[in-house]
């Protein structure tokens, strides 16, 4: 018999490894109930900070480095402004900090950002993709339209990164390399905002560097945006996202809908079970689900927001997620009673 394929060895994270002593024994944050039967649970870490940044509630290893993924984008956007990028609208700044659906106005906005910098879609380093918005995606598939870089959910961030390079006089070639001055600025800004060092740098799904921070550090960074002084770069990002939530995510997306429902709320989800939110004058919440799934993120986030005094009425559509059975609803996905009461 011939030899099988060689074992896969993923590249080592730059600047440190995340495996360390092994995965922590985190508590159950979310329960899945079906017809009165506890079917599944989601474990993880969750931290609630008060307005001063002090820990008000913590469950699990909230100081352990994790990968915030797209939840890092709001703080990343402040580094693009610091490089000299001047967005032409609040929509452009919001989409630079967002993970959009690939709907028409999303792609048009990213394309306009590139054009203003004298660039085009071929300059983007993110991979081609189909739109995430189901009706738009279905239309593309029916028409035989191929994936495009502008439709990738991170194209707003990448367009803004390129525009920032042009504004700063930095090369656009290699803008995703960790040692590029843009990425060095982003890495330093994330560390300052989180008040902790970046412990590892890996490659994100969009091809950009992704920086490891703890849930507590992630929460501190986003809290700093909503509590920043008017006129600051940090406050500009927070204000743009809250004024234009559709450009942060899109039609039917929880981040967009939550910001429309809760006054002052800033919220940003990330892949693999990460979510962060902050409310001015109250505090911030950040969480990471161990299994990397999305099903339990919003009930857990809402449990943390309730601790900050956000009204259950404002959060009602997201406090529980329905569990289907036959033609009806037979259960729910909810924050763990034993942990949150």
For residue 255, give the CATH number of its domain: 3.40.710
Whether 79 is in a domain gets the answer yes
Can you give the pLDDT at residue 21? 60
Confidence check: pLDDT of 124 > 70 = yes
* CB 187, CB 211: distance < 8 Å: yes
What is the number of structural domains in the chain?
Answer: 1
Whether 8 is in a domain gets the answer no
The set of residues, in sequence order, having a beta carbon less than 8 Å from that of 232 and lying 6+ positions away, is none
Can you give the pLDDT at residue 1? 44
Whether 15 is in a domain gets the answer no
What does the pLDDT average to over 261-287?
98
CA 61/CA 26 separation, integer angstroms: 7
Q: Which of 297, 333, 315 is nearest to 33 (CA)?
A: 333
Residue showing tokens 């099988």: 4
What does the pLDDT average to over 82-104?
98
Whether 11 is in a domain gets the answer no
Whether 19 is in a domain gets the answer no
Reduced DSSP (H G I as helix, E B as strand, rest coil) percent helix, strand, coil of the chain, to 5: 40, 20, 40
The predicted-structure confidence for 15-63, as pLDDT tens digits, reads as follows 554 555 689 999 999 999 999 999 999 999 999 999 999 999 999 999 9
Whether 312 is in a domain gets the answer yes
Whether 110 is in a domain gets the answer yes
Domain that holds residue 226: 41-133+141-340
- Using CB atoms within 10 A of its CB, is residue 16 exposed (0-12), middle (13-18) or buried (19+)? middle
Q: Which helix (H) or strand (E) holds 49?
A: strand 37-50
Confidence check: pLDDT of 332 > 90 = yes
pTM of the model: 0.94
Can you give the pLDDT at residue 20? 52
Whether 36 is in a domain gets the answer no
Per the prediction, the chain carries an average pLDDT of 95
């Amino acid at each position: 018999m011939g030899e099988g394929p060689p074992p896969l060895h993923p590249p080592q994270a730059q600047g440190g490894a995340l495996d360390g002593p092994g995965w922590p024994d985190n508590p159950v944050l979310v329960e899945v109930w079906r017809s009165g039967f506890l079917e599944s649970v989601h474990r993880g870490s969750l931290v609630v900070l008060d307005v001063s940044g002090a820990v008000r509630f913590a469950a699990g290893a909230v100081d352990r480095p994790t990968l915030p993924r797209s939840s890092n984008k709001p703080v990343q956007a402040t580094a693009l402004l610091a490089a000299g990028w001047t967005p032409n609208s609040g929509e452009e700044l919001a989409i630079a900090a967002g993970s959009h659906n690939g709907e028409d106005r999303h792609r048009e906005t990213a394309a306009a950002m590139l054009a203003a910098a004298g660039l085009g879609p071929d300059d983007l380093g993110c991979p081609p993709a189909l739109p995430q918005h189901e009706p738009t995606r279905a239309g593309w598939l029916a028409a035989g339209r191929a994936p495009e870089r502008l439709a990738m959910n991170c194209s707003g961030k990448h367009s803004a990164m390129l525009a920032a390079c042009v504004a700063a006089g930095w090369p656009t070639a290699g803008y995703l390399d960790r040692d590029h001055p843009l990425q060095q600025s982003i890495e330093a800004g994330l560390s300052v905002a989180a008040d902790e060092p970046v412990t590892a740098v890996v490659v994100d799904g969009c091809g950009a560097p992704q920086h490891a921070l703890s849930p507590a550090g992630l929460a501190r960074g986003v809290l700093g945006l909503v509590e920043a002084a008017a006129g600051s770069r940090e406050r500009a990002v927070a204000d743009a996202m809250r004024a234009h939530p559709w450009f942060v995510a899109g039609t039917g997306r929880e981040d967009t809908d939550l910001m429309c429902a809760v006054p002052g709320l800033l919220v940003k989800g990330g892949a693999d079970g990460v979510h962060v939110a902050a409310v001015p004058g109250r505090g911030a919440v950040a969480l990471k689900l161990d299994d990397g799934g999305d099903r339990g993120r919003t009930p857990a986030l809402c449990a943390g927001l309730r601790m900050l005094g956000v009204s259950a009425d404002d959060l009602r559509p997201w406090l529980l997620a329905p569990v289907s059975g036959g033609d009806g609803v037979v259960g729910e996905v909810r924050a763990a009673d034993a942990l949150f009461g």
